[in-house]
Amino acid sequence: MKKAMKFVVALGLVAIMGVSVIGCGGNGGNDAVDTTEVVDNDDANVEETGETDDGADVATGDQTVGVSMPTQDLQRWNQDGANVQEQLQEAGFNVDLQFANNDVGTQVNQIENMIAAGVDVLVIASIDGGALGTVLGQAKDAGIPVIAYDRLIMGTDAVSYYTTFDNYGVGQVQGQFIADALNLANEDGPFNIELFTGDPGDNNAHLFFNGALGILQPFIDDGTLVVQSGQTTFEQAATADWSPENAQNRMEAIIASHYADGTVLHAVLCSNDSTAQGVIQALRTNYTLPAGADWPVITGQDCDIANVPLILEGYQSMSIFKDTRALASAAVEMVQAILSGGTVPVNDTEQYDNGVIVVPTYLLGVESVTIDNWVEWLIDTEYYTWDQLGVNESDWR
């Protein structure tokens, strides 16, 4: 029933560089790197580049890239920050990497400082995609190109390029997974489902939710799926800061009101692994599985280290593998092309309208990961080691 659905939407893959991925925790910290050598903005687009043996452009070492990441609270951004920093440095750039503690004001200040220091390019994963218009206006005035990283920056023409995964596609895979697992096309139900998505300021959260609901809404409309809590809108399903604790608290309240009387919960749509962590924690401590009922189908995204054991123990049904090494590579290739006057790689010039402009985008594909194929995607690709996951190879090979 839970067949692994391979969903590849890569429209030309960037080379995946051999970068080992760090785990959750203090890695990739607030270690701003050598911001002393900063080139004049006037030179920003005409710096000379060298050549590596394989012909790739390499910066001459006097160009600085400002990298602004949202938070160190979630594994995702520690990993992305470290990957981007490492790959930029390998390409010969100085890097000013900052994490903004999920605070919009902090992120704005950090970007302002990068602009004042005269960085050559900004790479930004926004906290609130709609809150950077003013500061990016300053970047534009200073002639600094801006690459939106993973999350689209909304409401400004100051964003030059965007690189991300197929976010709507992520939601579709999650929705289809639930539809297949519950055999919604053939069963009458009713099946009970609850909906959890991410931070309302993150444009991706809307895309994930809409992608999933694109698959699930017809089954809600015809009564095959029932949301017992009645919390069906994006606003009701949203999780501030993508925080596991916020998801856990909401799930606990829903269990108390709707599932404490033996009502079976069949599925929980979780837009990512941090929300799934909170939901699973709430279920494990507060939901009594009615006799004969299966554990709910629960989705996720990111293949966080903390969630792999949940998948292997059967608490989480799937996650989405997004190879963040490839996203970092795509961003670095954009930086190189921008600063060398080359052609910037994009493969989507229609989908990502930020309300002011359609931002030229490089989209990467995603994979659905389950207990059946996780070794292939998470170990064989060298994304994680067995040790990092605390799993014995002999149990799975």
Residues near ligand GAL (CB under 6 A) are 74, 76, 150-151, 198, 202, 204, 242, 272, 274, 301-302, 322
The 3-state secondary structure of the chain, one letter per residue = CCCCCCCCCCCCCCCCCCCCCCCCCCCCCCCCCCCCCCCCHHHCCCCCEEECCCCCEEECCCCEEEEEECCCCCHHHHHHHHHHHHHHHHCCCEEEEEECCCCHHHHHHHHHHHHHHCCCEEEECCCCCCCCHHHHHHHHHCCCCEEEECCCCCCCCCCCEEEEECHHHHHHHHHHHHHHHCCCCCCCCCEEEEEECCCCCCHHHHHHHHHHHHHHHHHHHCCCEECCCCCCCHHHHCCHHHCHHHHHHHHHHHHHHHHCCCCCCCEEEECCHHHHHHHHHHHHHHCCCCCCCCCCEECCCCCCCCCHHHHHCCCCCCEEECCHHHHHHHHHHHHHHHHHCCCCCCCECCCCECCCCECCEEEECCEEECCCCHHHHHHCCCCCCHHHHCCCHHHHC
Pairing of strands 267-270, 297-298: parallel
Residue 364 beta carbon to ligand GAL: minimum distance, rounded to whole angstroms: 11
| Cβ nearer to ligand GAL, comparing 74 with 147 | 74
User: Which of residues 168 and 295 has its CB atom nearest to ligand GAL in the complex?
Assistant: 168
**Least spacing, CB of residue 107 vs ligand GAL, in Å:** 14
Query: At closest approach, how far in Å is the CB of 109 from ligand GAL?
Result: 21
Q: Name which of 49 and 167 has its Cβ closer to ligand GAL.
A: 167
Backbone angles phi, psi at 364, to 5 degrees: -115, 155
Tell me the closest approach of the beta carbon of residue 157 to ligand GAL, in angstroms.
Answer: 22
CA distance 169 to 332: 24
CB 286 → ligand GAL: shortest distance, Å? Answer: 24
- The candidate with the shortest Cα–Cα distance to 302, out of 20, 16, 78, is 78
Nearer of residues 74 and 280 to ligand GAL, judged by Cβ: 74
Residue whose CB is less far from ligand GAL, 194 or 273: 273
Q: 49 or 243: whose CB is closer to ligand GAL?
A: 243
Record the tokens describing residue 275, joined without a space.
């929300």
Choice between 266 and 325, CB closer to ligand GAL: 325
Give 151 or 266: the residue with its C-beta nearer to ligand GAL: 151
Distance in Å, CB of 175 to ligand GAL, minimum: 16
Q: How far is the CB of 2 from ligand GAL (least distance, A)?
A: 22
Q: What are the residues facing 286 on neighbouring strands?
A: none
Least distance CB 211 / ligand GAL (angstroms): 12
Nearer residue to ligand GAL within complex by CB, 277 or 301: 301
> Please, what is the minimum distance in Å from the beta carbon of residue 311 to ligand GAL?
16
Tell me how far, at minimum, the Cβ of 392 lies from ligand GAL, in Å: 28
Nearer to ligand GAL, 366 or 379 (CB): 366
